[in-house]
Structures are given as C-alpha cells and as structure tokens.
Amino acid sequence: MANIEQLQAFVATARTGSFSAAARHLGKAQSTVSSAVINLEIEIDVALFDRSKRNPTLTGAGASLLAEAAYILRGHEEFTAHASALATSAESHLCLAIEQSVWSPAIVPILSGFEAAFPYITLELLDPGSSDVGQLVRDGRADIGVMIAPESLPQGFHFRGIGHSPLITVCSPDYPLVGLQPLTEQTLRQFRQLIPHSRNPDDESYLARKRSPRVWLLESPHVIVDLVRAGIGWATLNKAVVDEELASGALVALALSFEKADVLQGIDVVWSQARHLGPAGHWLLQRLQGMALR
C-alpha cells in the first residue's frame, strides 16, 4: 500500500523535474527520494517515470495519477493540521500579513471587531512589500495574508478574491513626462522607472511591469512615492497608495496612449492548506473574505 512519504516523493519529483530537486524541496537525501518512488512503483505495479533521459519524465500513467496523489497529500495535510489544532487550546497568537500596496482603512473596523471578540489574543500585523505575503504564509510566519493576486498561486494555498485595485502611472508635477502626454511606451522608456519588488532575490515578477531599461527596484511603495515626488523617476502604483498625493497635487496621473481603460489588479486573501486555523483565525478570515476592496 502506498504511504505518504512515497506520494510526497512522487509529487515533488514530478513538480520539480528531478530527484535531486525533489530531495532539496523535501529536505531529504536524493537516494531516499528515488527509493521512495521506486518502492511506490513496485507497490502499485505501474511505472510513473521514464528514466531513459537525463531527467525523469512522467509516463502517461504517472501523469494520470499525479493529480490524485496531490489530492491525497492535501487531504493528509489538512487532516494533520486539524488534528493538531484540536489537540491544543484556542490560539494565543495570530499573525496577519497585509501587502503594503493593498492596505485600506476598510480593514480597521474588522480589526476593531477582532479586538472586542478576542481581547486576550495577541494579533501581529506585518506589512511586507510586493510578492512577499505568499512566502510568509507558506513559511508559517503568517497565518493569513492579504495580497495582490499573483498570476499563478503556488501549490498549498487557499485563496479568495476580495476586490481589485486600479493601477495608476504617476510622476511629480514638474517632471518632464507631464508635458509629453499622452505617453507612448517609447517615451516612457527614456525615463527612470521605480518598481515595487519583493526582497526575494529569486522573484522576477517585476519584469512583467518593467517598461524602461533604467529602473530602481524598491520594497516599499511608500518609499517609491517619496522618490517620485522628488523627481527621481516615474512609477505605476496601486490607487490606494497614491490617492492622497493625487488629491493634494503632490503627484499627477499620466495619460498613456497605449492604455484606453483602467488596468486592475486583483486582491486576494490567502491562507495555508497545511495549517488549520483556530476559532480566532476563522473569525478573522471570514470577515476578510466578506470585504469588497476597491
């Protein structure tokens, strides 16, 4: 009968593309991972990988069984997390990570209600930069996250969309781009762009937002606002970040000739499949899911 360790080795190898990469992902020796896969193939009498090439590739049968193996592993993780929560008392500490670009005053009443409902629970609020919320939840550092929706959410997460945020391209009122509107992509390329970027050195999601060869990458969108106000460059930021500066005239919104409609970014609330939330976590999660951020 296949066991959890064998299924973990199978799924990790299929997703990472090699036994060595799967071993690093699982924190095990390569021989342990390859042996687990071999034993699984013996148990079920099915070849899961074609080993004739440099890296193992899924056979037709392996591809057919992969989704079912992943489903079993998710169920095992959720069962283990639920059992662990039942074995302990209610939470004494809860961590909520809210990406800086999506913070909204609409969250404050929810936090006030949480304080009244759970007065003895320590709530920790983190405000990470771009793309870092998912990593915090994945690592177990945060219990719940609110973040800009990524193009694809990694395995192991639950998520729900709770709104969207328009993206606005801005600069200071006396920046040269103001007099060149409506702006073409070629015009933007001639000036420095300031881009929100994760502190994770492997995160290259910023490349999809890069329009200029001259860029600065910054973790905090609020630091970007200060530098844009100082005339160091231009930036495309979420509306919530620049609303006050636009209203005061400290920044101006730029007209782009190649975009005729608002560009919207989705906002998600995310939580781990592998960790079971207690009563306080469920209370907070349900109210965050009921939001409609704009």
Q: What's the CA gap between 237 and 148, in Å, rounded?
A: 12
Rg for the chain, CA atoms, rounded:
23
pLDDT at 285: 92
Confidence class for position 1, pLDDT limits 50, 70, 90: confident
pLDDT at 215 over 90: yes
Instruction: Report the run of H or E that residue 269 belongs to, with start and end.
Output: strand 263-272
Share of the chain above pLDDT 70, in %: 94
Q: Which one-letter DSSP state was computed for residue 194?
A: E
Instruction: Report pLDDT digits (tens) over 55-100.
Output: 888 989 888 988 898 888 888 887 877 676 555 556 788 999 999 8
Output the pLDDT for position 76.
Answer: 86
Alpha carbon separation from 242 to 80, 196, 216, 246 (Å, rounded): 43, 13, 18, 6
> Which range in 38-47, 222-231, 257-266 is most confidently predicted, on average pLDDT?
222-231
Is pLDDT of 21 > 70? yes
| Cβ–Cβ < 8 Å for 134, 203 | no
- Residues 92-140 have pLDDT tens digits of 889 999 998 888 888 999 999 999 988 878 899 999 887 788 888 888 8
**Residue type for 214, please?**
R
Does residue 156 have a pLDDT over 80?
Answer: no
Q: For the chain, how far is it from start to end, CA to CA, in angstroms? A: 51
**Residue 234's pLDDT band (boundaries 50, 70, 90)?**
very high
**Is residue 106 helix, strand or coil?**
helix
The span from the CA of 284 to the CA of 117, in Å, is 10
So what's the pLDDT on residue 87?
59
Amino acid 153: pLDDT: 61
> In the chain, pLDDT over 90 holds for what percent of residues?
36
Q: How many Cα atoms occupy the beta-carbon half-sphere of 234 within 13 Å?
A: 28
DSSP 1-65: ---HHHHHHHHHHHHHSSHHHHHHHHTS-HHHHHHHHHHHHHHHT---EE-SSSS-EE-HHHHHH
d(CA 169, CA 89) in angstroms, rounded, equals: 48
Tell me the pLDDT of the chain averaged across its residues: 87
Domains of the chain: 4-86 (1.10.10.10), 93-162+266-289 (3.40.190.10), 165-264 (3.40.190.290)
284 pLDDT higher than 90: yes
Give the pLDDT confidence score for residue 82 in this predicted structure: 63
Preceding omega of 150 cis (within 30 degrees of 0): no
Q: Rounded mean pLDDT of 248-253?
A: 95
What is the tens place of the pLDDT at every residue in 168-186? 999 999 999 999 999 999 9
- Check residues 191 and 120 and name the one with the higher pLDDT: 191
Whether pLDDT at 160 is above 60: yes
Residue 194 in tokens: 């300031």
Q: Are 159 and 165 in contact (CB under 8 A)?
A: no
pLDDT number for residue 154: 62
Q: What is the DSSP string of 211-224?
A: --SSEEEES-HHHH
- Give me the pLDDT at residue 180, please: 94
Q: pTM (2 decimals)?
A: 0.66
pLDDT score for 260: 67
CA 218 to CA 224: how far, in whole Å? 7
Structure tokens at 163: 């709104």
